[in-house]
A and B are shown apart, each in its own frame.
Chain A
């Protein structure tokens, strides 16, 4: 191995300049072989310890009737899974997720819209970028509390509405027909910034010449969006869709903080938490978590089939 990296060279020069003995080359050899593995040890150990071991444990719990405290975990076979698929109220909560799935599409559309506009030259461009990304930086608990005050009767939203003459607003969180829309909108408000930044980054990586060429050919803004931007960021759109859908299926933070799953806002993850910690059915809850994992995997697989991982070539 006579290949030496830039760092090596610099290091040797450094030691020479200080007049220290140059290090012997032979002593470094076994270490060079080990080095990549040593670098890998930390992440692999962390990954195994904090991801695979707990998941394996969870899968094991899902085949027991463990209550979370008992020293004995009695295996019960597929009972928990049978229960999930035979008790309609467990799967019913996925209907709540539909609100968030719809919200996710609104969120992506808005993000794409703002990303496109702000990728052209606009007044106060950076200011608007900051405004749009800001909610994503806030803590989810803080957002939950802020919106709790926003949506309460005579709260911020009602006060704003009364300024424009709406004097009998509905109960945004109390009305079971509206509450999920309110919560999903909060979620959109929070996560739109992230999608926006992803889209903006992808759009800005499209070479400038393409726009110039298009302009010469007489393309307008819509043409540029349709023929250059959208195909150019197809990969990232596909990825965002899948993240948004799996996020919608496993939504937890915002409804849990704002309503605690009451008033028909219970999502699958809230149901799982209640099952595990209120009703001490850790076995059943683990099985629910495993089922959710497989549902999300299924959606990912679906996305990979629809948006295969091919190279984007805008010049063809």
Chain B
């Protein structure tokens, strides 16, 4: 334990020196907090949404950080309704020194509240997901953790059905689920239809075929639900699974909390979710008397050029308040949190650093040779192009309404079939594109 810490200190110390050197070069100011020898000092307040960790894990972070930067004193402020409270507090100048950028802040508002951390290229050398909170080539936030996309499986059930390799095509995936249905008592796939939001997790897989520019491509496509398009492939897979009767009997009475236990205990074999779900399902597996090792995470069964892809994205981003009195100390915390704290790993998430290793939850990704896809941000001036289209078309790509209707169609509870439903989606989409212009 001790050894590990001191190694961490050394690394962070080198980094801190590099950073102070860097920032004192670029910073205009005679900063009171920064003394001549480059030591960082001052009090900083850190806002966090993790009220559950504030008295435990975060206190350890504070101790470690403060022993590394003895002149800095860190205070946490836990906020339960983080989005709501902080969005309002942004109107004052008192919103702590380090805070997570609320989702309500649009990119062009970033410079109003936060201090720039450097150019996108510069910051990207160290961190992933930089462009997600950047404006006019300035980066404003560093992710606290990251997520990959794919599906969570109960390995024991899959192995019982004789499947040990991740399916490489949608057909193989459906066949695998069929094998589970035939040879085990488990429900092969669980849609979580009633809670709705888990259905939107499917959309998180955009980019696995079309690549980083998938959103622009989608906004430029007239009929995305046509064979060969990415949107068709993703939605088609869900449709086929339900159509083949491989999902739960009554989707209207599903329950998210319960579904974790079902998957953990092997009554359900598969769910498409972000990688953030793995630790939760592992906990559920353990609580149900199983082993966390039963739970694995596989990439979606769409291969491009013979390799799997997984879309990755950042979680909340730590940023430095524009009004911080000790921006150096605040910046040091942001970097330390991303690089040294081990927060991402403890959450089973992807490290926000470029060099970061895969978390144990994604251990299978390494042997499968999964390539990560980071979605490109929309070009300036076209940020709302895609959302304008789906709002106008009333097709909630990130919601549950149209996928619920799709599941209803697939299980025979609504009129029509795959062709007619996808036709109607195409029709609405192209009409909306024409209207939005």
Please list the residues of chain A having a beta carbon within 8 angstroms of any beta carbon in chain B. Answer: 67, 148, 151-153, 155, 171, 173-176, 179, 259-264, 274-275, 278-281
Contacts and interface: CB of A to CB of B under 8 A. Distances in A.
17 contacts: A148-B253, A155-B253, A171-B250, A171-B252, A173-B252, A174-B251, A174-B253, A176-B408, A176-B414, A259-B194, A262-B196, A262-B252, A264-B408, A264-B414, A278-B396, A278-B399, A279-B391
B193 interface: yes
A260 B400 contact: yes
A4 to B, nearest CB: 52
Given A174-B249, A176-B414, 19 more contacts: A151-B253, A171-B252, A173-B253, A174-B250, A174-B251, A174-B253, A176-B408, A176-B413, A260-B196, A260-B400, A260-B404, A262-B194, A262-B401, A262-B404, A262-B408, A263-B404, A274-B401, A275-B394, A279-B396
Contacts of B399: 278
A155 B396 CA distance: 32
B194 to A, nearest CB: 7
Nearest to A182: B252
Contacts of B394: 275, 279
Interface in B196-255: 196, 249-253
A7 B381 CA distance: 71
B255 to A, nearest CB: 8
Contacts of A175: 413
Given A176-B408, A279-B396, A263 B391 contact: no
Contacts of A275: 394
Contacts of A173: 250, 252-253
B249 A262 contact: no
Interface residues of B, number: 22
Interface in B110-128: none
Nearest to A264: B414
Nearest to B390: A279
Nearest to A175: B413
A196 B249 CA distance: 38
A171 B253 CA distance: 10
Nearest to A148: B253
A179 B394 CA distance: 24
Given A260-B400, A264-B408, A171 B249 contact: yes
B223 to A, nearest CB: 20
Contacts of A148: 253
